[in-house]
């Protein structure tokens, strides 16, 4: 029977990266059901619009038993500042009827579990979103030594407004970034004073480079996809250790 260990309801923006993470890397006996919410882009305006859709998305799962509802978006679950991730959790739980978690909450739990109070951060976001993320992390006790954006990120170099997102035009998006581009961007960063590295955005495909980065950098690496899966599994009391996906998965 699918989901005999845990059944997770995943709510995420358009794109297959996080959905693939849960379907490919979750251990045996864990199943995921997914619904998508419309995402005009990672500007502050777009992220607020994304989070406004949480209740309607969660209600899809109401009355159908799941062990956890997961809001799989980093910046979308922190955009309104410290405590917003907890607000999202409360809204999800009320709408769905079962426990909930967000990506940003899982990331904070990952930092706490690793005992790493300082980090360098890499994102694909525009500057205003990076500023919001830096403030959220620091208001939650995480010292951000530097926050850089991936230069090749399409979200970095164009407007991402709600109106812009209404245009039905195929163009490059965050999931189009390859893991080699992410790796090279990390290697350009100044990691002085950082006890860890955080690669933010659940749209970035990072699972296969976490172990490589930890080996090359000599510090723990947290990524949004990795932390989302780790946090969801641990909240469902699934304790599999999978060191290939980083030190976090050994805890």
The mean pLDDT value for 31-44 works out to 92
Q: What is the pLDDT of residues 80-131, one digit of tens each?
A: 999 999 999 999 999 999 999 999 999 999 999 999 889 999 999 999 999 9
Residue keyed to tokens 């998006």: 173
Share of the chain above pLDDT 90, in %: 83
pTM value?
Answer: 0.92
| Average pLDDT value for residue range 184-200 | 96
Rounded to whole angstroms, the Cα distance separating 99 from 236 reads 9
How far apart are the C-alpha atoms of 110 and 104, rounded to whole Å? 10
Of the candidate ranges 37-41, 47-51, 153-157, 240-244, the one whose mean pLDDT is the lowest: 153-157
DSSP bridge partners of 30: 6
Angle of CA points 175, 177, 179, to nearest 5°: 110
Would you state the pLDDT for residue 173? 72
Q: What is the mean pLDDT of residues 186-196?
A: 96
Confidence band of 207 (pLDDT split at 50, 70, 90) = very high
Return d(Cα 209, Cα 120) in angstroms, integer.
Answer: 17
Q: Check pLDDT > 90 for residue 249.
A: yes
């Amino acid at each position: 029977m699918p989901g005999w260990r845990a059944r997770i309801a995943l709510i995420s923006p358009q794109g297959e990266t996080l959905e693939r993470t849960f379907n490919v890397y979750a251990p045996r006996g864990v199943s995921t059901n997914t619904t998508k919410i419309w995402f005009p882009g990672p500007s502050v305006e777009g992220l607020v619009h994304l989070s406004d859709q949480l209740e309607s998305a969660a209600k899809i799962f109401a009355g159908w038993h799941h062990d956890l509802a997961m809001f799989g978006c980093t910046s979308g679950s922190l955009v309104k500042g410290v405590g917003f991730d907890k607000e999202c959790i409360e809204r999800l739980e009320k709408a769905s009827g079962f426990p909930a978690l967000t990506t940003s909450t899982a990331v904070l739990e990952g930092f706490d579990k690793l005992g790493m109070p300082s980090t360098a951060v890499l994102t694909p976001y525009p500057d205003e979103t990076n500023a919001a993320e830096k403030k959220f992390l620091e208001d939650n006790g995480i010292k951000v030594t530097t926050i850089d954006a991936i230069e090749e990120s399409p979200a970095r170099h164009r407007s991402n407004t709600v109106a812009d997102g209404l245009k039905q035009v195929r163009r490059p998006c965050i999931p189009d970034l390859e893991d080699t581009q992410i790796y090279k961007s990390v290697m350009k960063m100044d990691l002085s004073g950082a006890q860890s590295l955080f690669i933010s955005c659940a749209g970035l495909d990072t699972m296969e480079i976490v172990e490589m980065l930890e080996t090359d950098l000599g510090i723990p690496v947290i990524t949004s996809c990795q932390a989302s899966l780790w946090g969801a599994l641990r909240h469902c009391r699934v304790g599999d250790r999978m060191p290939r996906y980083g030190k976090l998965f050994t805890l």
